[in-house]
Structure 1
Amino acid sequence: MARRCELTGIGPRSGNNVSHAKNRTKRRFLPNLCRVTLRSDKLDEGFKFRIAASALRTVDHMGGLDVFLTKAKDEQLSATALKVKRKLAKAS
């Protein structure tokens, strides 16, 4: 399973561990992924996603899953999120 947020597309980033002696070794910064069930108000249905904690706060801030998906770009959404977005478009 890929370490990528299904709603925002956030994935692993690379960087360096820097010791006190300034020795640098490569490392990966992994996103803080959580398994959550987000509820759609229009469809009155719950959908399971694996999203970053920052994306969960963004969805909450924007007013729910429906609003987030209508404003989101298709390129950054996963296949399951795109299916939900299409269901929302049909329901409207």
Structure 2
Amino acid sequence: MSWRCDLTGKKALVGHKVSHSNIKTKRRFLPNLQNVTLTSEALGRRFRVRVSTNALKTVDHRGGLDAFLLKAKDADLSPKMLDIKRQLAKKQDKASA
């Protein structure tokens, strides 16, 4: 399981741990990922996703998973989330037609 957010694409960063004597050693900065279940109201389904806490806050701010996915860039989303986004778009096209 990779350290990558399904919604925002946040991943581990690399940097230095600097000691008091200024010796630099490599380290990784890991995102704060949580396993959560998000509900799509348009599809009427629940999805288990691994998201950063920052993304979870953004989903809440935008008004739910559906609103977040429709506004998100395709490059940031995981393949699973891209599939859900396509299903949402198809559902909206049918509803508007």
- TM-score above 0.5: yes
Quote how far apart the aligned CAs of 1:83 are.
0.9
Identity of aligned residues (%): 54
CA distance, structure 2, for counterparts of residue 57 and residue 18 of structure 1: 31
Which letter maps to 2:58?
Answer: T
Which structure 2 segments of 5+ residues have no match?
93-97
Using structure 2 for the length normalisation, give the TM-score: 0.90
CA distance, structure 1, for counterparts of residue 86 and residue 47 of structure 2: 14
CA offset digits 1:9-53 (Å, max 9, x no partner): 000001111111221111000111111110011112111111111
CA distance, structure 1, for counterparts of residue 4 and residue 50 of structure 2: 8
Partner of 2:41: 41
* 1:88 lines up with 2:88 in the alignment: yes
Which letter maps to 1:86?
Answer: R
Residue 83 of structure 2: SS of its match in structure 1? Answer: helix
Bigger Cα Rg: 2
Partner of 1:51: 51
Which letter maps to 2:83?
Answer: K
Partner of 1:66: 66
Q: CA RMSD in A?
A: 0.8
Quote how far apart the aligned CAs of 1:65 are.
0.4
Which structure 1 segments of 5+ residues have no match?
none
Which letter maps to 2:53?
Answer: A
CA distance, structure 2, for counterparts of residue 77 and residue 7 of structure 1: 5
Aligned length: 92
